[in-house]
Amino acid sequence: MGRRTHTERDLTMIATRDAYGEALAELGGENDKIVVLDADLSGSTKTGVFAKKFPNRFFNMGIAEANMVGTAAGLAAVGKVPFLSTFAIFAAGRGWEQIRQSVAYPKANVKIVATHGGVTVGEDGGSHQSVEDVAIMRAIPNMTVIVPADGEETKGAIRAAAAYKGPVYVRLGRNKVPSVFPAGHQFEIGKGVVVVPGTDLTFITTGLMTAAAVTAAEKLKAEGISARVLHIGTIKPLDKELVLQAAEETGAIVTAEEHSVVGGLGGAVAEFLAETRPTLMKRVGIHDRFGTSGKSDELLKYFGLNAETLIEEAREIVSRKK
């Protein structure tokens, strides 16, 4: 299904937020219970596509995220399926306690789709680069946390979120990212995907780092290192089966995410394996610091969020196995 090899890989670049805008507008035509809220960023989050098509079901709440979250909870309480969007830093950050109290605690059917996650926000700088949203959303009971790898997976994730009854946090990015999955890829909440098979180590990755891991695995192959790439689209609930299998079969794990290594995917995998099967591990991500201004590709390099870092970590961890 979602699994593919290098030869099949296409080089289409699409921003996950663009895929979201398209998917949401499409879903809006299928389900009239879907309503959309934004906080003055509908052009950037791409909810504007839905707004144009279904103006009556779109609510611009102005620059007031806390109220937006509560309003969405109220809409859900009368049977609507609200999607709310703004940048990750404002959705998860400003809206955290509202999400906790008004959405997750009552298990309200609210979908929080946060765009501009991570450092690829770029020039706007550290104030706007959310490096902790996955961690703080993951800590909330009842919350499902999804970080798609590409446009195709985003479309599936949005569809799955709409079909699921309960709170969902989906983290998307600003920039165009390479495709990992083929058209029509079926997304299932809580299921990881082995994108590249391998036996010496496993890259457990999420978001745009999955494409980087595929590149790293290809290069490592030439060195005789067989790297598996396990994409985790749903950080919570974690696909424990595939993570445990990776630990058992490859004995070394390198996690990678465009997020702090504290509490995100790396944290989730470490917590799980520490209690079930302690395994050699490295966490690639942002090491407990804030972002900074720069071009997004410069920042990915600056923070070591690329195939080169993954290759170095893979070599190192494989050498430690021996």
Partner 1 sequence: MKEKIADLEEKARRLRVAIVKTLHKSQSGHTGGSLSAIDMVCALYFHKMRHNPAEPAWDGRDRFVLSKGHAAPALYVTLAECGYFPAEDLMMLRRLGSHLQGHPDSKGTPGVDVCTGSLGQGLSMANGMALGLKLDGKENRVYAVLGDGELQEGQIWEAAMAAAHYKSDNLCALIDSNGLQIDGDVAKVMNVSSISDKFKAFGWNVIEIDGHDMGQIVAALDQAEAHKGAPTAIVAKTVKGKGVHLFENKASYHGVTPNDDELPEALRCLGCCD
Q: Of the two residues 6 and 52, which places its CB atom closer to partner 1 in the complex?
A: 52
Determine which one of 8, 30, 65, 152 is catalytic.
65
For the CB of residue 108, give the shortest distance to partner 1 in the complex, in Å: 8
Is 235:264 a contact under the CB 8 Å cutoff?
Answer: yes
Phi-psi region of 229 (alpha: psi -120 to 50; beta: other; left: phi over 0): beta
- With respect to partner 1, which residue has the nearer C-beta, 57 or 259? 57
Question: Smaller CB distance to partner 1: residue 36 or 261?
Answer: 36
- Least distance from partner 1 to the Cβ atom of residue 9, Å: 43
* Minimum CB distance to partner 1 smaller for 69 or for 317: 69
CB atoms within 10 A of CB 203: 33
Q: Rounded to an integer, what distance in angstroms lies between the CA atom of residue 43 and that of residue 22?
A: 13
Rounded distance between C-alpha atoms, residue 124 and residue 282, angstroms: 29
- Nearest approach in angstroms of CB 136 to partner 1 is 16
Our measurement of the distance from residue 142's CA atom to the centroid of its chain's CA atoms, rounded to an integer in Å, reads 17
CB 142, min distance to partner 1, A: 10
Shortest CB 134 distance to partner 1, Å? 23
Q: Which residues bind partner 1 (CB under 8 A)?
A: 35, 56-57, 59, 61-62, 64, 66-80, 82, 97-98, 101-102, 105-108
Q: What's the rounded Cα separation, in Å, for the pair 305 and 178?
A: 15
Cis amide bond preceding 237, omega within 30 = yes
Please report which residue ranges of the chain form alpha helices under DSSP H.
Answer: 16-30, 42-45, 48-53, 65-77, 88, 96-98, 133-138, 151-163, 209-222, 240-250, 265-276, 296-302, 307-321
Rank residues 19 and 51 by Cβ distance to partner 1 and give the closer one.
Answer: 51
The amino acid at 50: F
Question: In terms of CB distance, is 79 or 224 closer to partner 1?
Answer: 79
65 a catalytic residue: yes
Which are the contacts of 231, defined by CB distance < 8 A and separation ≥ 6?
Answer: 2, 149, 180, 192, 193, 194, 195, 205, 206, 210, 213
| Least Cβ distance, residue 71 to partner 1 (angstroms) | 4
Name which of 76, 66, 141, 134 is nearest 97 in CA terms: 66
Active site residues: 65
